[in-house]
Amino acid sequence: MFSSCDRFGSGCHRGRAPWIIPATVALWLALSSVAALAGGFGTARRDGAWWLTMPGGAIPFFSIGADTVNGGDKHYRGHGYYWEDSYPDLAAWAADTQQRLYAWGFNTRGGWSDPTTAMTLPLVPEIDLGRLSRLHWFDPFAPDAQAIATAKAREITAPYKDNPAVIGYFTDNEVGWWNAPLFRWYLGNEWAVYTKQVLWRMVYDHYKGDWRRLLVDFVPGKGVNGFEDLKKGRAELHLRPGGHGITLIERFTAVCAGRYYELVYKALKAADPDRLVMGDRLPLYYNQDAVLASRGHLDVLSTNYNVDTPDGWVAPYYFEGLARLTDTPVLISEFFFAANENRSGNVNNGHLMHVQTQAERAAGAAAAVRNFAAFPNIAGIHWFQYYDEPSGGRGDGENFNMGLVDIRNAPYEGLVTALAAANRDVPALHAASGGRKTPPMPAVIPLARAKTPVVVGDDSLADWPDKAGTRLPWFTVPAPHVPFGDVHMSWSPESLNLFNLAQNYADLYLLAHDGEFPPSESYRINLDVDAGAGMKHFALCLVPRPHSKYPGRFELAPRLYAVAADGSLAALETQGVMQVLDKPLPHIALELALPARLLGVEKLTAGQKLALRIEAITFYRGMTMTLGAPAGKGGAPKTGAAPVAAVLADK
């Protein structure tokens, strides 16, 4: 088994990285088992950067993995990857596949990979411990939940205990911690469900037994007229517009998540204590309260990730936020790039990252790897997946060109060449990442001039080539939460430009309302700008509506308003001014090119001074992040918050 430095030693001794010592395959294989070295694989932070460590703890190890390193599914044979089409036996498949992965710079088998000992590549199995123990969506607070989880953990891990290549376990896949669905599900359960009883007590205590206080935040369902009625099966509470019921819902989410993480951590430490507990592979999004609740119950936090833009940009808020929420190394358990130009007939039928050509795919994927490696809390990057999905789609209909190889086992040479070069750079990039800091906010914030015309309506952020130089990293959120997105700004003579990448899961059926979704409950950015003609107030709202293509789903419609002194809204034209990119919740991506005339000036010029105040607010006003002054109690902006000073820079 190679560490990331074994094949790429020339990059491992630069700068201040003397601890990265090459380890040979022969040395590691001489160990009879992981148990021969105390603790097996581990984690360590060196000069500010997190690493996994080899058995024994002395050698840092950055996990560069590939998912589904297996022989494929014979049921897809003829239109999907299957080992018998290329190899005489599984031993030949294992040898050739491992050799390829080493050559491309990979050093780990990720989720859903064959655990065969014919391969020496380290392995992280995904074991579905919570699902098989019937924890989430069943009754995690049942008195026997821990005993059941521990027994199931012993059963599931038994086949892996003598395999020294196992780093640790992914406990589940994409649990999600969807806040409102958890609340609605358990509230609607029968009283015999222990988790329902926990929730009822939380509701009762939150409102101190005063039903009138509850009615400020919620609209009860039919037949629910008091707390005793909430004990019944099928009980319902819907958010009341203007209320703050989402606060209670998030508290319950944290309680459920904390119970899950405690149960699976204790179960795995009892069943296989030398292996790392590596989390539940968060689904391209994280709930901040759930992450906070995981503290102390994970060795590594795993998250899947959908790269934000085709050029491989990775929004910093995501991983900077995780670093502040939990002092735990992060492993990217899935990332991917697909291309419409492919040899497997994949149609890329969804929102997951895909581009037009294989050349674009290779460039974007390699850029993403380098961007990931530059975050100090990331200790591993796993590519999804080894081979393309079947040409007709897999069982759930997903049909993506995600493979390093096509369904006929031929490598995508441009992709694997680009990834090999990027993987070679990872150790040095990561060793240098420990010094990454957010610079202090300057007294006057320079706003960069747009390098290319900002085109609103193209469903793209390709017109922002300088994403790092346009980011405003100084937003604040009341502790213990962190900013839930990034805001970027630039200027052109004709417009002040902004884009926002963020995450915000919202159950849009939860709100009690008639007609169009209320702007007060929408995802919203309040933008106040004084460009020399007095302070102008704007609200950028993302209002959900039934999807134009897919029945039963929602899409977000952009709404731009001028805000009067009394808070009333006057609609403004959005065509060519504001767009929301076609990304389903919980992903937020909006772009604005606010015309100079709306700021009361004919045009914007270099050196011009501005006063700015920006607030981004999640659905149902659950969280607010603010640039201009610290947010007040509950995330609300402080009354009279002072704007920040900005200047339109020449470059």
pLDDT score recorded for residue 14: 28
Q: Residues 337, 302: contact at Cβ < 8 Å? A: no
Confidence of residue 32 (pLDDT cuts 50, 70, 90): very low
Q: Residues 335, 372: contact at Cβ < 8 Å? A: yes
- CATH architecture for residues 9-69+96-126+281-435: Alpha-Beta Barrel (3.20)
Confidence of residue 629 (pLDDT cuts 50, 70, 90): low
Residues of the chain with CATH 3.20.20: 9-69+96-126+281-435
**Tens of pLDDT along 269-321?**
999 999 999 999 999 999 999 999 999 999 999 999 999 999 999 999 999 99
pTM for the complete prediction? 0.93
pLDDT score recorded for residue 326: 97
Confidence of residue 640 (pLDDT cuts 50, 70, 90): low
As a CATH number, domain 444-648 is 2.60.40.1190
Tokens standing for residue 524: 């919203």
Q: Which is higher by pLDDT, 604 or 629?
A: 604
SS3 assignment, position 407: coil
CA gap 482, 322 in Å, rounded: 9
Confidence of residue 114 (pLDDT cuts 50, 70, 90): very high
The radius of gyration of the chain from alpha carbons, rounded to an integer in Å, stands at 26
Confidence of residue 85 (pLDDT cuts 50, 70, 90): very high
CA angle in degrees (0–180, nearest 5) for 105-111-115: 85
Residues of the chain with CATH 2.60.40.1190: 444-648
Percent above pLDDT 90 for the chain: 88
Confidence of residue 551 (pLDDT cuts 50, 70, 90): confident
Q: Is the pLDDT of residue 46 over 80?
A: yes
Give the number of residues written for the chain: 651
**Tens of pLDDT along 153-170?**
999 999 999 999 999 999
SS3 assignment, position 589: strand
Average pLDDT, the chain: 92
